[in-house]
């Protein structure tokens, strides 16, 4: 019998599982062959498949009314992408009784401070399929929506999140929502707490260059890992039920150095391809600490301190954090706005 691929080994032999990070159905099929247990989509990825693979979506486009307001039209277009992925994952969701097989659908990134709009979108998305994990940004406003949704049995993926304070806030609000659900005799929604480790590294690299900080590139490459390892330790210590979901991987090291944790790794096709090459180490490394001297150098950058210290930011600061603004802008300008601009047949 042929040896299982690294990704198959990861999902089957370790506590660490992985989600496929792409909205393209053909790419998802390949991911499922290697034991993907869920799907990450976002406005950027959705726009990419709708605009880049029109032959797949022609029939879906014909069902969307041209008379809808642009925001609702984009939502309808996104629903076709998300629902197709949800159908592909439905057997896994059903066979595991809702433990695996989730698909993300992200609310309009331009609404990151609008509680009412995000709540309404979350409820509409939840109606698309039972295995939808509604994606909300980790802002103060969205944390309120997250708690209410979990209390109503809606599963949430909290995204646009880069820091220990953000994931701790996500874990805490999920806990509160779950307690409310159980008190009302309901099954609480699940929660996945995203850590965009590569986007944090990208941002800190720019900050370090601008400040002429005394850090090495090797330090920057460990920043997101340091945040993920500290977050995981605190999650275990506090007993949060939410699951940490590292994303925006910039190399296989972002996965291999976290293996052994009860995490879900969001993995894009280019990283999947690298992980399928021979020689990837099959070891549990979650308990290997980041070198103290690297942490010491990184701590000279105030923006790393905000990300690494549990009280580095208050929830009302999350929306103003540099990577948050960068990512929301990209998801809006290079994602949602492009979906709104798609010409219907």
SS3 156: strand
Separation of alpha carbons 151 and 147, rounded Å: 6
Q: Rounded to an integer, what is the distance from CA 35 to the centroid of its chain?
A: 18
Quick one: which H or E segment has residue 200? Answer: helix 197-211
Q: State phi, psi for 158 to the nearest 5 degrees.
A: -90, 115
Quick one: which H or E segment has residue 194? Answer: strand 191-196
Q: What pLDDT is attached to residue 2? A: 64
Would you write out the chain's pLDDT as a tens digit for each of its 345 residues? Answer: 467 999 999 989 999 999 999 999 999 999 999 999 999 999 999 999 999 999 999 999 999 999 999 999 999 999 999 999 999 999 999 999 999 999 999 999 999 999 999 999 999 999 999 999 999 999 999 999 999 999 999 999 999 999 999 999 999 999 999 999 999 999 999 999 999 999 999 999 999 999 999 999 999 999 999 999 999 999 999 999 999 999 999 999 999 999 999 999 999 999 999 999 999 999 999 999 999 999 999 999 999 999 999 999 999 999 999 999 999 999 999 999 999 999 998
Q: What pLDDT is attached to residue 345? A: 85
CATH 3.40.50.720, applies to 6-339: no
Q: State phi, psi for 21 to the nearest 5 degrees.
A: -105, 80
Count Cβ atoms within 10 A of the Cβ of residue 266 and give its class: 0-12 exposed, 13-18 middle, 19 or more buried. buried
Q: With beta carbons less than 8 A apart as the criterion, state whether 203 and 196 touch.
A: no
Q: Which string of DSSP letters, residue by residue, matches 47-102? A: HHHHHH-HHHHHHHHHTS-TTS-HHHHHHHHHHHHHHHHHHHHHHHHHHTTTSS-E
Q: State phi, psi for 46 to the nearest 5 degrees.
A: -65, -45
Separation of alpha carbons 336 and 42, rounded Å: 9
Separation of alpha carbons 261 and 233, rounded Å: 10
pTM over 0.85: yes
Q: Angle at the Cα of 336 (from 129 to 55), degrees rounded to 5?
A: 70
Q: Where are the domains of the chain?
A: 6-339
**Closest by CA position to 245, among listed 290, 281, 196:** 196
**Closest by CA position to 64, among listed 53, 78, 51:** 78
Separation of alpha carbons 200 and 223, rounded Å: 7
Q: State phi, psi for 19 to the nearest 5 degrees.
A: -110, 150
């Amino acid at each position: 019998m042929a040896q299982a691929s690294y990704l198959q080994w990861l999902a089957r032999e370790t506590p660490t599982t992985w989600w496929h990070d792409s909205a393209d159905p053909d790419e998802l099929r390949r991911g499922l062959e290697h034991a993907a247990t869920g799907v990450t989509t976002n406005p950027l990825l959705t726009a990419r498949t709708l605009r880049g693979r029109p032959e797949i979506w022609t029939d879906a486009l014909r069902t969307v009314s041209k008379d809808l307001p642009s925001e609702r039209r984009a939502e309808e277009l996104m629903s076709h992408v998300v629902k197709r992925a949800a159908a592909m994952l439905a057997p896994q969701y059903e066979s595991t009784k809702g433990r695996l097989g989730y698909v993300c659908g992200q609310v309009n990134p331009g609404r990151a401070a609008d509680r009412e709009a995000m709540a309404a979108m979350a409820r509409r998305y939840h109606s698309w399929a039972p295995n939808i994990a509604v994606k909300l940004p980790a802002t103060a406003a969205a944390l309120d929506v997250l708690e209410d949704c979990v209390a109503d049995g809606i599963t949430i993926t909290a995204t646009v999140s880069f820091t220990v304070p953000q994931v701790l806030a996500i874990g805490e609000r999920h806990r509160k929502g779950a307690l409310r659900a159980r008190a009302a005799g309901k099954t609480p929604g699940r929660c996945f707490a995203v850590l965009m480790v590569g986007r944090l590294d990208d941002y800190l690299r720019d900050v370090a260059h601008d400040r002429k900080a005394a850090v090495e590139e090797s330090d920057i490459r460990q920043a997101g890992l340091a945040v993920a390892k500290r977050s995981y330790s605190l999650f275990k210590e506090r007993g949060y039920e939410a699951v940490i979901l590292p994303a925006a991987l910039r190399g296989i090291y972002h996965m291999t150095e976290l293996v052994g944790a009860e995490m879900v790794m969001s993995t894009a096709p280019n990283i999947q391809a690298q992980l399928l090459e021979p020689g990837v180490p099959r070891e549990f490394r979650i308990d290997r600490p980041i070198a103290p001297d690297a942490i010491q150098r990184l701590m000279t950058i105030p923006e790393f301190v905000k990300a690494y210290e549990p009280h580095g930011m208050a929830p009302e600061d999350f929306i103003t954090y540099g990577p948050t603004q960068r990512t929301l802008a990209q998801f809006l300008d290079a994602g949602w706005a492009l979906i709104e601009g798609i010409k219907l047949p």
